[in-house]
């Protein structure tokens, strides 16, 4: 859900009166008050979107992050403690952390792709941008579905390593630590898995 249009005006998170209003909205949200939740959205959506966009440089990813943050606000508002500061600062911190996590995942995938996959597998062809053309978007979704189906054909050890690398955003070192396997073994599994994925995908999409 994209933020509502208009001139961006950052609320002052230090203003005590506004902080009390935000706290009241959050406490009512914790009781399931949808009107209060809508009030939080009106207050926070534009500055949170601006925060995410500055970090990610991609409006659709920024919208995804903001949507995720508001989902967390709805589901976990009862967990808020004033020790964390104001509700606004809590929301901004969540937004920053999730946007930074996405940037890190991009870098991790880029590192793995530079080291491991066959050039014709098709990962990373569109970079961080979503295809603008609807036909290209449909092809991208179909390819993603084909990749997931192909993943299911891999041996369990290779499937696990590839999924951890590309869907969990872990580095090869982190995968090795999680699986209690040598780094070289993990690299080999990812490499073999990607080669097999290529063979399966080429078989499904003959030139």
Say what percent of the chain tops pLDDT 90.
Answer: 18
Q: How far apart are the first and last CA of the chain?
A: 39
Using the 3D structure, point to which of 70, 104, 138 is the last residue of a domain: 104
**CATH assignment at residue 73:** 1.10.1740.10
Inform me whether the pLDDT recorded for 144 exceeds 80: no
71 and 24 within one domain: yes
> pTM for the whole thing?
0.50
Q: Does the residue 170 lie in any domain?
A: yes
Contact criterion met (CB below 8 Å) for 12 and 25: no
Backbone angles phi, psi at 85, to 5 degrees: 105, -150
Alpha-helical segments (H) within the chain: 16-30, 34-56, 59-76, 87-115, 134-151, 156-166, 172-179, 183-204
pLDDT tens by residue, 15-61: 788 888 999 999 999 998 989 999 999 989 999 999 999 998 888 88
Using the 3D structure, point to which of 42, 71, 104 is the last residue of a domain: 104
Long-range contacts of 118-123 (CB under 8 A, 24+ apart): 118/194, 118/195, 118/198, 120/198, 120/202, 121/194, 121/197, 121/198, 121/201, 122/147, 122/201, 123/166
**CATH assignment at residue 149:** 1.10.10.10
Q: Does the residue 114 lie in any domain?
A: no
175 and 96 within one domain: no
Residues in contact with 139: Cβ distance below 8 Å, sequence separation at least 6, in sequence order: 131
Domain count, the chain: 2
Mean pLDDT rounded to a whole number for the chain: 76
Lowest mean pLDDT among 6-10, 105-109, 165-169: 6-10
Q: Average pLDDT in the 123-129 region?
A: 48
d(CA 145, CA 158) in angstroms, rounded, equals 18
Note down the domain range covering 148: 124-204
Inform me whether the pLDDT recorded for 156 exceeds 80: yes
Backbone angles phi, psi at 59, to 5 degrees: -65, -40
pLDDT given at position 4: 43
136 and 84 within one domain: no
For tokens 């929301």, the residue is 91
């Amino acid at each position: 859900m994209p933020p509502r249009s208009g001139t961006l005006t950052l609320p002052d998170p230090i203003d005590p009166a506004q902080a009390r209003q935000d706290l009241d909205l959050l406490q009512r949200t914790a009781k399931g008050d949808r009107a209060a939740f809508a009030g939080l959205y009106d207050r926070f959506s534009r500055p949170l979107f601006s925060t995410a966009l500055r970090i990610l440089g991609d409006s659709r990813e920024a919208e995804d992050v903001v949507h995720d943050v508001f989902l967390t606000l709805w589901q976990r508002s009862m967990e808020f403690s004033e020790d964390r500061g104001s509700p606004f600062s809590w929301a901004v911190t969540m937004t920053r952390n999730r946007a930074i996590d996405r940037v890190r995942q991009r870098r991790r995938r880029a590192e793995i792709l530079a080291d491991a996959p066959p050039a014709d597998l098709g990962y990373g062809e569109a970079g961080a941008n979503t295809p603008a053309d609807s036909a290209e978007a449909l092809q991208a979704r179909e390819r993603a579905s084909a990749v997931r189906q192909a993943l299911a054909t891999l041996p369990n050890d290779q499937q696990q390593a590839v999924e951890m690398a590309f869907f969990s955003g872990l580095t090869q070192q982190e995968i090795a630590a999680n699986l209690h396997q040598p780094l070289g073994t993990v690299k080999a599994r990812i490499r073999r898995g990607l080669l097999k994925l290529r063979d399966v995908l080429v078989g499904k999409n003959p030139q």
